[in-house]
């Protein structure tokens, strides 16, 4: 309890880009643990990322979590830190098979899901047009094809129900939810998800969770017209 009280007295700052799914993953984890925190907006796409941020994250990516004087980057590490450092519901399962599946899903989402679901389908169908950019239909089709492989793998794991089970909320849920939220905004993504019953049921449950709903960044306002 002494360590918990000490941790509560240290300021928590999440430095990141509001539209980054990885920033949202960290925010969801913080919300799940009931941690009060401040945010600092960092746009990793500008030419000159602030020097004070580069000292914390030498690769210039987002986010960085600062807890007192302790800085940590890489979203997987941030999630594990949040779970260990703060009181609240566990985000890392204790049971060995569920622990392994949670880590496996995080890796699947990061390695195989992020690019097709977010950078191709969502970015070209939804985000780009919201800031006045044209969609690249070829990129969307390539992303959809790759996304179906990801959805099929996740459907199998959701059916097994060690995680993505609509009962426990783990780091696997934290990682998948922001990417699925992007993906289903595209009509093609929403249609693709409907082919996977267990995963669709999981998303219906996860999307209503307070931590997911309250961290929705929306879309940027199109300043062009």
CATH number at residue 20: 3.40.30.10
| Residue range of the domain that includes 180 | 96-213
Residue 53 CA to residue 63 CA, distance in Å, equals 10
Q: Are residues 149 and 179 in the same domain?
A: yes
Residue whose C-alpha is closest to residue 16's, from 89, 69, 87, 72: 72
Binned average pLDDT, 10 residues per bin, the chain of 225 residues: 61 97 98 98 94 96 97 98 97 98 98 98 96 94 98 98 98 98 98 98 98 95 43
* Residues 80 and 131 occupy one common structural domain: no
pLDDT of residue 4: 56
Q: What SS3 state is found at 116?
A: helix
- For 4, the token pair is 């918990």
- Regarding whether 191 and 121 lie in a shared domain, the answer is yes
Do 125 and 52 share a structural domain?
no
The torsion angle over the Cα atoms of residues 136, 140, 141 and 142, rounded to 10 degrees, is 100
Distance of alpha carbon 30 from alpha carbon 83, whole angstroms: 9
Residues 6+ apart with CB under 8 A from 26: 14, 16, 63, 65, 75, 78, 79, 82
């Amino acid at each position: 309890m002494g360590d918990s009280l000490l941790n509560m007295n240290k300021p928590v700052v999440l430095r990141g880009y509001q539209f980054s799914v990885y920033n949202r993953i960290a925010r969801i984890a913080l919300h799940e643990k009931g941690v009060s925190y401040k945010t600092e907006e960092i746009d990793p796409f500008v030419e000159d990322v602030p020097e004070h941020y580069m000292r914390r994250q030498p690769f210039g990516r987002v986010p960085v979590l600062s807890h007192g004087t302790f800085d940590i980057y890489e979203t997987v590490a941030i999630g594990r830190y949040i779970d260990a450092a703060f009181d609240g519901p566990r985000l890392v399962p204790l049971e060995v098979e569920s622990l392994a599946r949670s880590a496996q899903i995080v890796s699947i989402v990061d390695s195989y899901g992020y690019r097709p679901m977010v950078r191709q389908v969502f970015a070209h169908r939804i985000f780009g047009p919201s800031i006045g950019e044209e969609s690249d239909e070829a990129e969307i089709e390539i992303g959809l094809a790759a996304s179906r492989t990801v959805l099929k793998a996740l459907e199998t794991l959701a059916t097994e129900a060690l995680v993505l089970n609509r009962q426990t909320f783990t780091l696997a849920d934290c990682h998948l939810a922001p990417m699925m939220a992007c993906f289903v905004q595209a009509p093609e993504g929403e249609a693709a998800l409907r082919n996977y019953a267990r995963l669709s049921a999981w998303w219906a449950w996860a999307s209503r969770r307070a931590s997911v709903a309250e961290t929705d960044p929306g879309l940027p306002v199109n300043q062009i017209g």
